Amino acid sequence: MAETRPHITVGHHDQYGVVAATSHDNHVAEHILRLVGFERLPGSTLYGLTDPQRDPVRRGAQAVQSLRAAQYRVNADVAYDLQPHTRLGTGQGLLERLEKPSASTVTPSAQRRRSEAATAISPARATAMPARQPGVAVEYRPATSTPQPVRTR
């Protein structure tokens, strides 16, 4: 199956900072970009992050997460992508990525290791949590209270 192009690509531009580009002529995607903090750059098809000096990496990563939560396919530079299996290399330019999206190179064994790591309990949490015995259910005990008298008029 051929890989489909992303709806939106987010990357770094030397002059404008964090930028986004849509690969489809989609007015809804343009509206969503404005909602997550991008504005159309004058004379360009790119969208720049508003107020680019204010924490661009965090805001760019949040924008990528919001776009994905809105069910858009998003390719992003490593700095703005919190999902390692969809990251692109940093050697390609933003416009080149729109023309030739990279193929996923995640092997089944790497995918298995990631899923095991995602479901494992963190060593930091393991020491903070009390040890539970397997197969022992937590017993529910309602609080004992004295019955309240019924008021009548």
pLDDT digits (tens, 9 = 90+) for 31-49: 899 999 999 999 888 999 9
Q: Is the C-alpha dihedral spanning 33, 37, 40, 44 positive or negative?
A: negative
71-129 per-position pLDDT tens digit: 888 888 888 888 755 444 444 455 455 444 444 566 777 777 777 776 777 666 666 55
Residue 66 burial (10 A CB sphere; 0-12, 13-18, 19+): middle
CA distance to 126, 127, 139, 141, per residue, from 131 (Å): 8, 9, 16, 21
| The pLDDT of residue 132 | 56
Give this prediction's pTM: 0.53
